[in-house]
Amino acid sequence: MNPLLTVTLINIGLITLVVATHYEFLYQVSVLIPRLCTRHRPRILLGIFAALLAHAIEIWLFGIGYYLEHHSQTLGHLQGNFDGSLLDAAYFSFTTYTTLGFGDIEPNGMLRYTVGMEALTGLVLITWTASFLFVEMQRYWDDR
């Protein structure tokens, strides 16, 4: 199969998986918050910790994608301070998702397309989380 088509399909799959994961986390939290907590502080803290957990899972999903792409023969590779491990792939994913980008690991080949898509996806999902938490804070902080 054409490497560009392969990476495009991988990206579509990864983005679909992480957006669905994020949606489900935020939806479940919005349903659980009113049921579990009577005070506003625990509600907001629950929302924050659930959002952080969702982001961590999403970052690891992209990390698994990088790991698999790196170990393929045709999709590119990661170089620099990268030993080929899943942990290093997850670290690279953390710096990409948050757009921090330390620059100690460099993508090459078609894998660069995944890097760009992860940065864009991370930006959208982090913004979505901020909007969600803002709405939750407005809803419950008025109840003081």
pLDDT value for 144: 53
> Averaged over 30-36, what is the pLDDT?
85
As a whole-number percent, the residues of the chain with pLDDT over 70 amount to: 95
Output the average pLDDT for the chain. 93
Q: How confident is the model at residue 39 (pLDDT cuts 50, 70, 90)?
A: confident
Tokens coding 99: 């757009």
> What is the Cα–Cα distance from 20 to 41, expressed in whole angstroms?
27
Instruction: Break the chain into its structural domains and give their ranges.
Output: 3-28+44-136
3-28+44-136 CATH pick, 3.40.50.2300, 1.10.287.70, 2.60.40.10, 1.10.3720.10: 1.10.287.70
Q: What is the pLDDT of residues 113-137, one digit of tens each?
A: 999 999 999 999 999 999 999 988 8
CB 109 within 8 A of CB 47: no
Q: Would you list the DSSP string of 49-115? A: HHHHHHHHHHHHHHHHHHHHHHTSSSS-EEEES--S-HHHHHHHHHHHHTT---SSEEEETTHHHHH
Give 56-83 pLDDT, tens digit per residue: 999 999 999 999 999 999 999 999 999 9
Amino acid 43: pLDDT: 81
Query: What residue has token string 């970052």?
Result: 59
Q: What is the pLDDT of residue 57?
A: 98
107 DSSP β-pair partners? 78
